[in-house]
C-alpha cells in the first residue's frame, strides 16, 4: 500500500483536502546585501526599547525559501512578483547579472515582470532574462497583459516563449495555473518599454487568461501581479475563478497589527481576504520590499478545486546579532536581555531569525567585492539627515523612509517635501548651467530613492539614491507647457490610487499646492527665480530653458504634455545624471563643508494644502 500523500489531508466527512504553499517575494530592487534594522523589542524591562539587528539580504531569502519549501513536503511554489532590478549599485555595475545569479540560487517557479524591468528598454530586459535563464533554473517570466512591439527584442517572433502570459505547474498530481499581470499605466508612463510595446487592461487580461486555463481543466488559479496592494483588492472583486493574488509594486508589508509595537507598519492582515464577482473568497498577499520579507501563503482546496481556507504569515528576515546603537560596554545586552528579546521575537509571529544561505553567499561574493571597491569611496559628509519624501503633507508617502520619525515627523518635510529630491533638482540646475543657460530644473520624486542619514556619503550611497541610467536634457518650452506638465504630474501623485513618484520637484522655481482644487488647477503662485535673485510669476508665453532628465523629457511618469515637444524644443545633452549629482556634491562640499538641506525658501513646494 502506498503511503498517504503529505499534501493531502482528510477533511470532516471523509473529503480529501489538498494543501498548497506559495512562497513569495517582490520588489527586491537589486538589494542583495543584508543591512541593519531598528526594532522596538522587549528586553525584560518596563517598556520596549530600540534594538538594532542585521536584517534582509538575498542570501536570507534563499535559505528561508529552501527551509519553508522543505517543510511543505514538496507542495510549495516559489514566486517573484517583479521589480527584481534597479535600485542598488549591483544593478548599475552588473546590468542585472548579480540579481540573476542570486535568483537562480532560489530557482523560482515563476517571475512576474514589474515596471522597473522595463526601465532600460526591451533589449535590456531580454539581456536580464537571458541571464536569469543562464543557469539550470530557466524560471518562467510572466505577463498576460504585455504585447511586445514588432521591433522589440522580446517580440515572440524573435524570442518565442521568453515571456509567457501564464504557466501551469504540477504539485502532487494537481495542476496550478500561475498568471502574471504587470501594472499598465505606471509601466507606460514611469518606465521605458520600447515605443511599440503596449500594456493591456489588467482585469480584462487576467480574466481572459483565467478562462483559458479553466478550459484546459486547471481548477486552481493564482495571479502573481505587479499591480499594488489596493489595486489587487479591487482587481479581485472584478474577477471570477481566481483563488489567490500574490502581489508586488506597492512595497506593502502585511501582517498582524501587533507588529506596530515592534516599530513596523503593517498595512493590513496577511493574507487579506476579499470576495470575487461570485462572492467567493480570494486571498491576497504581498511581502514588503528589498529582500526583507518572504511571504508564506497556505491554501487548502477540496477535490473540485474549491478554495476552503487560507492562512499564512510574512517572515521578516533578521539575524541574531541584537545590539544597542552605542558600542560601549555599558550599552551591551546582557544574556538575560538577549533571552527576553528572543522570546519576544518568537511571540511576534512574523520576525524570523535566519542564517544566510551558503550557496547564495558564494554567488554574491564576486559581485560584492566589485561593489565594495567602487562604492566605498567617500565623496562628502552629510551634516544632518536628509529625508526622502515624495509628496509633502501629513499623509504623503511616509512608509518609505528608513529614518522613521526623524523624517516623518519633520515639519520641514511635511511642509516642503523631500530634502534629497530638492537637492537633486538643485544639483541638476547648477551642473546644467555649466553647459547651457538653464533657468530652472525639474525632476520627479520617484527618481530619488532613499534618505541620506548624517555621516559619510559614499559613491554607493549616491548610486542607491539615483539608481536609474538617466541623462541630462535641455527643454526650451513656454511657461504654459511647463505648467501643464507639472499639473499633470501633481494630479497623478494625488490620484486614487496615487502615482506618488510623479510629484514634481524643481530648482529655480517654486509654487503652492492645494490638493482640494480640481484636477489641472492644483498649483498656484508659480514663480521663477530671475537673474537678479528675485522671484517673478511664471510667464505662460515666455520660453524657459529647463534642465531635466531624458525620462521626464519623454513625457514619462505623467509628464505627458512633454510628449508633444516640437523640433528645437529638446536638446539631448547626454551627460549621466547620477554623475552630475556626484560632481555637484564634490563641488558644493569640501573645505570643512558638508551636505545639508537647502534653505526653506529654495524648496519648490512652499506650501501644501491637503484635500478636505
pLDDT at 543 over 60: yes
In a domain, 342, yes or no: yes
Beta bridge partners of 476: 545
pLDDT at residue 397, as a whole number: 63
* Residues 413 and 362 reside in one and the same domain: no
Q: Give the separation between CA 227 and CA 215, rounded to whole angstroms.
A: 26
Count CA atoms within 13 Å of residue 126 on its CB side.
Answer: 17
Q: Of all residues in the chain, what percent carry a pLDDT higher than 70?
A: 95
User: Rounded to two decimals, what is the model's pTM?
Assistant: 0.80
Q: Of all residues in the chain, what percent carry a pLDDT higher than 90?
A: 85
Q: Where are the alpha helices (DSSP H) in 72-141?
A: 89-94, 97-106, 121-132
Q: Give the separation between CA 550 and CA 119, rounded to whole angstroms.
A: 12
Q: Which residues contact 525 (CB under 8 A, 6 or more apart)?
A: 510, 511, 512, 606
- DSSP state, 562? G
pLDDT at residue 87, as a whole number: 84
* Residues 358 and 397 reside in one and the same domain: no
- Contact in structure between 399 and 422 (CB atoms under 8 Å): no
Torsion of Cα atoms, 321 then 324 then 330 then 335, to 10°:
-40
CA distances from 478 to 101, 155, 345, 568 (A): 48, 39, 58, 13
CA distances from 89 to 6, 32, 119, 415, 517 (A): 43, 10, 15, 31, 40
Q: What is the pLDDT of residues 212-245, one digit of tens each?
A: 999 999 999 999 999 999 999 999 999 999 999 9
Please identify which residue in the block is written with the cell numbers 529614518. 403
pLDDT at residue 135, as a whole number: 84
In a domain, 499, yes or no: yes
Q: Which residues contact 266 (CB under 8 A, 6 or more apart)?
A: 253, 254, 255, 256, 257, 259, 260
Q: What is the pLDDT of residues 286-331, one digit of tens each?
A: 999 999 999 999 999 999 999 999 999 999 999 999 999 755 556 7
Beta bridge partners of 37: 53
Residue 578's pLDDT band, with cuts at 50, 70 and 90, is very high
Looking up residue 452, the CATH number of its domain turns out to be 3.90.780.10
Q: State the average pLDDT over residues 439-443.
A: 98
* Residues 524 and 493 reside in one and the same domain: yes
pLDDT at 590 over 90: no
* Residues 416 and 494 reside in one and the same domain: yes
Torsion of Cα atoms, 58 then 84 then 401 then 255, to 10°:
-70
* Residues 551 and 452 reside in one and the same domain: yes
In a domain, 536, yes or no: yes
User: What is the CA 389 to chain-centroid distance, rounded?
Assistant: 14
pLDDT at residue 180, as a whole number: 98
**Cell numbers at residue 516, please?**
482640494
Residue span of the structural domain in which 353 resides:
26-51+74-299+317-366
pLDDT at residue 7, as a whole number: 52
In a domain, 592, yes or no: yes
Q: What is the pLDDT of residues 380-432, one digit of tens each?
A: 999 999 999 999 998 766 556 667 777 888 899 999 999 999 999 999 999 99
In a domain, 392, yes or no: yes
Q: State the average pLDDT over residues 89-113.
A: 96
* Residues 546 and 598 reside in one and the same domain: yes
Residue that is last in its domain, among 339, 366, 393: 366
* Residues 335 and 384 reside in one and the same domain: no
User: What is the CA 280 to chain-centroid distance, rounded?
Assistant: 30
195 sits in the region (left: phi over 0; alpha: psi -120 to 50; else beta) called alpha
Q: Which residues of 470-490 are buried (b: 16+ CB within 10 A; e: fewer)?
A: bbbbbbbbbbebbbbbbbbbb
Least confident of 165-179, 316-330, 356-370: 316-330
Higher pLDDT, 375 or 480: 480
pLDDT at 485 over 50: yes
pLDDT at 13 over 50: no
**Cell numbers at residue 476, please?**
526650451
Residue 6's pLDDT band, with cuts at 50, 70 and 90, is very low
Looking up residue 113, the CATH number of its domain turns out to be 3.60.21.10
**Cell numbers at residue 177, please?**
495555473
pLDDT at residue 331, as a whole number: 75
* Residues 87 and 143 reside in one and the same domain: yes
pLDDT at residue 227, as a whole number: 96
Q: State the average pLDDT over residues 11-27.
A: 83
Q: What is the mean pLDDT of the chain?
A: 93
* Residues 344 and 421 reside in one and the same domain: no
pLDDT at 575 over 90: no
* Residues 421 and 460 reside in one and the same domain: yes
In a domain, 542, yes or no: yes
pLDDT at residue 190, as a whole number: 78
CA distances from 63 to 69, 297, 359 (A): 10, 17, 9
Residue that is last in its domain, among 366, 397, 423: 366
- DSSP state, 332? P
In a domain, 86, yes or no: yes
* Residues 349 and 438 reside in one and the same domain: no
Q: Give the separation between CA 216 and CA 239, rounded to whole angstroms.
A: 18
pLDDT at 3 over 60: no
Supply φ then ψ for residue 388, to 5 degrees.
-100, 120
* Residues 511 and 476 reside in one and the same domain: yes
In a domain, 263, yes or no: yes
Domain count, the chain: 2
Amino acid at each position: 500500500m502506498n503511503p498517504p500523500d503529505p499534501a493531502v489531508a482528510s477533511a470532516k466527512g471523509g473529503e480529501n483536502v489538498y494543501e498548497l504553499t506559495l512562497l513569495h517575494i517582490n520588489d527586491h530592487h537589486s538589494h542583495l546585501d543584508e543591512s541593519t534594522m531598528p526594532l522596538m523589542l522587549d528586553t525584560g524591562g518596563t517598556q520596549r526599547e530600540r534594538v538594532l539587528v542585521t536584517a534582509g539580504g538575498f542570501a536570507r531569502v534563499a535559505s528561508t525559501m529552501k527551509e519553508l519549501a522543505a517543510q511543505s513536503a514538496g507542495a510549495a511554489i516559489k514566486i517573484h512578483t517583479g521589480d527584481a532590478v534597479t535600485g542598488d549599485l549591483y544593478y548599475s555595475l552588473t546590468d542585472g547579472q548579480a540579481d540573476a545569479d542570486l535568483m537562480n540560487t532560489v530557482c523560482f517557479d515563476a517571475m512576474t515582470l514589474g515596471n522597473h524591468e522595463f526601465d532600460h528598454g526591451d533589449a535590456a530586459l531580454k539581456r536580464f532574462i537571458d541571464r536569469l535563464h543562464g543557469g539550470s533554473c530557466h524560471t518562467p517570466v510572466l505577463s498576460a497583459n504585455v504585447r511586445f512591439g514588432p521591433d522589440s527584442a522580446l517580440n515572440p517572433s524573435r524570442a518565442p516563449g521568453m515571456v509567457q502570459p501564464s504557466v501551469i505547474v504540477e504539485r502532487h498530481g494537481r495542476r496550478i495555473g500561475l498568471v502574471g499581470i504587470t501594472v499598465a499605466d505606471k509601466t507606460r508612463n514611469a518606465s521605458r518599454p520600447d515605443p511599440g510595446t503596449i500594456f493591456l487592461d489588467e482585469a480584462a487580461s487576467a480574466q481572459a487568461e483565467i478562462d483559458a486555463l479553466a478550459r484546459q481543466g486547471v481548477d486552481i488559479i493564482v495571479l502573481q501581479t505587479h499591480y499594488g496592494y489596493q489595486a489587487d483588492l479591487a482587481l479581485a472583486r472584478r474577477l471570477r475563478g481566481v483563488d489567490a493574488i500574490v502581489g508586488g509594486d506597492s512595497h506593502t508589508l502585511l501582517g498582524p497589527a501587533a507588529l506596530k509595537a515592534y516599530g513596523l507598519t503593517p498595512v493590513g492582515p496577511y493574507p487579506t481576504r476579499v470576495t470575487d464577482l461570485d462572492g467567493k473568497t480570494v486571498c491576497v498577499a504581498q511581502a514588503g520590499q528589498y529582500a526583507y520579507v518572504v511571504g508564506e501563503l497556505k491554501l487548502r482546496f477540496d477535490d473540485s478545486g474549491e478554495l476552503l481556507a487560507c492562512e499564512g504569515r510574512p517572515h521578516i528576515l533578521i539575524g541574531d546579532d541584537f545590539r544597542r546603537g552605542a558600542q560601549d560596554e555599558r550599552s551591551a545586552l546582557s544574556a538575560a536581555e538577549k533571552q527576553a528579546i528572543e522570546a519576544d521575537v518568537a511571540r511576534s509571529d512574523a520576525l524570523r531569525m535566519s542564517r544566510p544561505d551558503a550557496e547564495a553567499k558564494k554567488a554574491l561574493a564576486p559581485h560584492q567585492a566589485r561593489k565594495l571597491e567602487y562604492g566605498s569611496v567617500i565623496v562628502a559628509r552629510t551634516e544632518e539627515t536628509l529625508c526622502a519624501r515624495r509628496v509633502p503633507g501629513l499623509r504623503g508617502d511616509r512608509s518609505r523612509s528608513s529614518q522613521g520619525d526623524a523624517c516623518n515627523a519633520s515639519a520641514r518635510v511635511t511642509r516642503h517635501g523631500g530634502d534629497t529630491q530638492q537637492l537633486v533638482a538643485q544639483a541638476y540646475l547648477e551642473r546644467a548651467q555649466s553647459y547651457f543657460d538653464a533657468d530652472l530644473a525639474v525632476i520627479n520624486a520617484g527618481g530619488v530613492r532613499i534618505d541620506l542619514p548624517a555621516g559619510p556619503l559614499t559613491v554607493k550611497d549616491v548610486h542607491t539614491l539615483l539608481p536609474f541610467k538617466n541623462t541630462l536634457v535641455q527643454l526650451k518650452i513656454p511657461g504654459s507647457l511647463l505648467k501643464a506638465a507639472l499639473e499633470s504630474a501633481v494630479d497623478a501623485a494625488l490620484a486614487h490610487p496615487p502615482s506618488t513618484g510623479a510629484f514634481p520637484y524643481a530648482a529655480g522655481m517654486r509654487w503652492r499646492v492645494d490638493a482640494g482644487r480640481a484636477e489641472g488647477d492644483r498649483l498656484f503662485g508659480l514663480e521663477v527665480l530671475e537673474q537678479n535673485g528675485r522671484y517673478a510669476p511664471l510667464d505662460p508665453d515666455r520660453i524657459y530653458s529647463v534642465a531635466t532628465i531624458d525620462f521626464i523629457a519623454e513625457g514619462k511618469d505623467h509628464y505627458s504634455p512633454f510628449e508633444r515637444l516640437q523640433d528645437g524644443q529638446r536638446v539631448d545633452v547626454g551627460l549621466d545624471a547620477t554623475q552630475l549629482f556626484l560632481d555637484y556634491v564634490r563641488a558644493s562640499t569640501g573645505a570643512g563643508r558638508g551636505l545639508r538641506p537647502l534653505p526653506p525658501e529654495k524648496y519648490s513646494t512652499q506650501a501644501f494644502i491637503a484635500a478636505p
